[in-house]
Amino acid sequence: MEEDDKILYVHQLQFHGWPQGGVPEDYTNLIDFIKQVKMKQVETKMSPMLIHCRSEFAVNNSAKIFFNRDGSGSTGTFLTLYQLVDVLRSNSTISIYNVIRNMREDRMDMVLTRVQYLYIYDTLQQAQLTPEKTRTLTEEFKGMDDQTLNCKAVQEFSVS
């Protein structure tokens, strides 16, 4: 490495809940993940990011690379939601169809199945109905020791 060379940091985030050929079961986890990606972008001043939803990759732009086993269908689903979650909260009019059509100009087959298309609508509806959290779970649990985390989990999930 030369003295003039800059170090480029690439941040990697991974979403585990995306099944092969399907869509995530839980809307909330994906919405929270999208928010974490957006916060990380601000925090890292838009440095390159790898977003894994499974294994293979599709390039969105120079600042982000999205990985996914299903390729374009799931990547398109993620990117559509990524673009529209904030727009929805600002009470702007959105067109899911236009977002997908614009993405397909760069890469065909973005959002492949009817299930993926409907999932986008359902997730955006869920995002609109879900109150905005001020802190992510990661922030909430940061710094807690194992005993405190276990007590919190038992308290939250105990059946009365």
pLDDT at position 1 is 66
Q: How many residues does the chain have?
A: 160
In this structure, the number of other CB atoms found within 10 A of the CB of residue 126 comes to 14
pTM exceeds 0.85 = no
**Residue 76: Cβ-neighbour burial (10 angstroms; 0-12, 13-18, 19+):** buried
Q: Tell which phi-psi region holds residue 37, choosing left (phi > 0), alpha (psi between -120 and 50) or beta.
A: alpha
Does CATH place domain 11-132 in 3.40.50.720? Answer: no
Query: CA separation (Å) from 91 to 69, 75, 86, 135?
Result: 33, 25, 9, 22
Instruction: Note the helical H segments in the chain.
Output: 27-43, 72-89, 96-106, 114-129, 137-141, 146-157
CA distance 65 to 88: 24
CA distance 7 to 26: 37
Each domain of the chain, given as residue ranges in start order, spans 11-132
pLDDT at position 57 is 43
Q: Would you write out the chain's pLDDT as a tens digit for each of its 160 residues?
A: 677 788 888 888 888 778 877 899 888 889 988 988 888 888 888 788 878 776 444 444 445 555 544 467 888 899 999 999 888 877 778 899 999 999 999 888 888 889 999 999 999 999 888 766 655 566 666 777 777 777 776 665 554 4
